[in-house]
């Protein structure tokens, strides 16, 4: 898999463009079908998580 984020880089949802934010949220929701959150709540949640380490994108 191609490295998306450089190693040891902290990345949050708000660092991405709106269309890509929606794509990330959509994929997260698809992997967690029982998630009961609005789109806004999900974006707020994911914006408080280092996506690089959470999803293994900076390995």
Residue with token string 């984020």? 5
Q: What is the average pLDDT score of the chain? A: 79
Find the domain containing 33 and state its range. Answer: 13-54
pLDDT at residue 13, rounded to an integer: 85
Name the pTM for this structure: 0.65
Residues with Cβ within 8 Å of 12's Cβ and at least 6 positions away in sequence, in order, are 46, 47, 48, 49, 50, 51
Query: Is the residue at 7 inside a domain?
Result: no
Query: Is the residue at 50 inside a domain?
Result: yes
Query: Is the residue at 44 inside a domain?
Result: yes
Mean pLDDT of 38-56: 80
Query: Is the residue at 35 inside a domain?
Result: yes
Query: Is the residue at 24 inside a domain?
Result: yes
Task: Look at the chain and report how many structural domains it folds into.
Answer: 1
d(CA 9, CA 23) in angstroms, rounded, equals 21
Query: Is the residue at 48 inside a domain?
Result: yes
Query: Is the residue at 59 inside a domain?
Result: no
Query: Is the residue at 2 inside a domain?
Result: no
């Amino acid at each position: 898999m191609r490295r998306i984020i450089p190693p040891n880089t902290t990345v949050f949802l708000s660092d991405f463009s709106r269309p890509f934010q929606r794509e990330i949220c959509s994929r997260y929701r698809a992997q967690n079908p029982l998630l009961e959150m609005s789109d806004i709540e999900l974006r707020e949640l994911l914006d408080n998580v280092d996506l690089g380490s959470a999803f293994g994108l900076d390995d």
